[in-house]
Amino acid sequence: MVRWIITFALALVAQLAVAAINLNTATKDELVAVSGIGPARAQAILDYRSQHGGFKSVDDLKDVKGIGARRFEKLKAEFTVTPANVKPAPRADAKAAAIAAKGDVRPQKP
């Protein structure tokens, strides 16, 4: 049982590590954590987001000061965009992780 919980937790962490960062909700610290984005570029992304009411697509990142075509090509896979006023649906694995953390390991209905 313990082995199963550890395996599940490691799988969840691995999924979160490769998850794309939402340009419309990311904090400055989250942006700086991306390779190729320093504090100045992170602030430029936040400024663009506030001036334009959010990103409509990842392609809008090309319009941010300091992000040219080559840098955009390297960064685009790191980001995603959901509308700023729409909360993303909770992920099923996050719900399962919360249940497992509470000790309830009964199968859950979808």
Assign 6 to helix, strand or coil.
helix
- Three-state SS for the chain is CHHHHHHHHHHHHHHHHCCCEECCCCCHHHHHCCCCCCHHHHHHHHHHHHHHCCCCCHHHHHHCCCCCHHHHHHHHHHEECCCCCCCCCCCHHHHHHHHHHCCCCCCCCC
pLDDT at 19: 76
Asked if pLDDT for residue 101 goes beyond 50, the answer is yes
Residue-wise pLDDT tens digits, 37-54: 999 999 999 999 999 999
Residue with the bigger pLDDT between 35 and 10: it is 35
Give residue limits of the domains in the chain: 26-85
Give the span between the Cα atoms of 91 and 54, in whole angstroms.
23
Indicate the CATH number for domain 26-85: 1.10.150.310
Q: What is the mean pLDDT of residues 23-46?
A: 95
Express each pLDDT in 50-98 by its tens digit: 999 999 999 999 999 999 999 999 999 999 998 755 455 555 555 556 5
